[in-house]
Amino acid sequence: MDSIKSFAVENGADDEFLFLNYADLSQNPLGSYGDKDIAFMEKVASKYDPNGVFQRNVPGGFRLSIARTTACLR
């Protein structure tokens, strides 16, 4: 992934946004959404999933609870 990122930077095609469906488990696509959008998603999650079922009980994937970090759950 580093070589792809380097190639994009060298060619002026780099973008911090990571498309969720194309993200690798070593990436943090939710973190690329920005603080404002993460805060909104956290607010919605606290309203509709106050017990954090989808943050704790669904296997694999990317978690909103770690969106502000640099890693994802494997």
Max distance between CA atoms of the chain, in angstroms, equals 45
For 22-73, what is each residue's pLDDT tens digit? 888 778 888 888 889 999 999 999 999 999 888 888 787 888 877 777 655 4
Contacts of 54 (CB under 8 A, 6+ apart): 45
The type of residue at 22 is Y
For 8-36, what is each residue's pLDDT tens digit? 889 888 777 778 888 887 788 888 888 89
Q: What is the pTM of this model?
A: 0.66
Cα–Cα distances in Å, from 21 out to 11, 18, 30, 46? 23, 9, 11, 24
Q: What is the distance in angstroms between the CA of the first residue and the CA of the last residue of the chain? A: 17
